[in-house]
Amino acid sequence: MSTGPATPEPFAHRLLEESRELVDQAAAQGLAVRLMGGIGIRMVLGDRFPERFARAYGDIDVLVGRRDSRGVEELLAARGWDPATAFNALNGSRRLLFHDPASSAQVDVFVEAFEMCHALPLADGLQRPGPTLPATDLLMSKLQIVSLNAKDRGDLYALLAGCDLRDGDHQAIEPDRLAALSSRDWGLHHTFELNLARLREGLAAGEAPPEVGPPIAAIAQAMEDTPKTRAWKLRARIGERKRWYDDPEEVDRTTEAG
């Protein structure tokens, strides 16, 4: 007697493996796809990942180039991910969502730029080698979250503990690059500043090892020392009297990225 088609294994059980396979298959098809979010941080660190910050992952976040977005849509569908049809029709030029039909896992595809609480121009990272965006891009994609939670803090601590601090190295944290971007945007600078303070508070409370203290201080110092644009200075006069961040639109997911 036939029992019907087998139920697909939920992607939620194998997201790390699925992420590697997705990026490898995309590269084989000539598509530029780079991992972001918690899985991206886990993979960029590799053996350097501090196991105290290991956690379960609920989704895969990737950045793709605009010319490759259609190919990535087709690839994800072929791998068994269901598109969020209505959302993708409205937002496909900048963002696409795909769901696992057998679990709550999903893939969040950012097209050309990363836009959540703040917009980050990360497309240059698609030209860097490796399956993930550069470490500094991964750091900024977490530091831009206004409502930073324990999971996000853990991801940031893992990066800060596992990466060297060195400009010009895509596998290291580059303070000058981060400071240069935030020096043009007061809102982004302010959110970075607030989150660095939260990380220092968590460090004092024992949430992270002491070695994350120096990189936090170095990033904060680079941000302070970098000359600010005229637009930055004008916006700084208004401060928090006007909201300086966006509320990211979310579909069936929590309010943080990755």
Question: Which CATH topology does 1-132 take?
Answer: Beta Polymerase; domain 2 (3.30.460)
The pLDDT value recorded for residue 148 is: 93
pLDDT tens digit string along 37-92? 999 999 999 999 999 999 999 999 999 999 999 999 999 999 999 999 999 999 99
**Alpha helices by DSSP H, the chain:** 15-28, 37-45, 69-78, 85-91, 135-143, 150-162, 175-182, 186-204, 213-225, 230-238
Q: Are 142 and 186 in contact (CB under 8 A)?
A: no
The pLDDT value recorded for residue 185 is: 98
Q: Find tokens 């680079």 and name the residue.
A: 222
Residue 115: exposure state from Cβ atoms within 10 A (0-12, 13-18, ≥19)? middle
Domain boundaries, the chain: 1-132, 134-246
Angle (CA) 201 202 208, round 5°: 135
The pLDDT value recorded for residue 204 is: 97
The pLDDT value recorded for residue 257 is: 42
| 8 confidence band (pLDDT: 50, 70, 90) | low
pLDDT tens digit string along 144-198? 999 999 999 999 999 999 999 998 888 899 999 999 999 999 999 999 999 999 9
In angstroms, rounded to a whole number, what is the distance separating the alpha carbons of residues 37 and 126?
A: 15
pTM for the full model? Answer: 0.89
pLDDT tens digit string along 96-155? 999 999 999 999 999 999 999 999 999 999 988 889 999 999 999 999 999 999 999 999
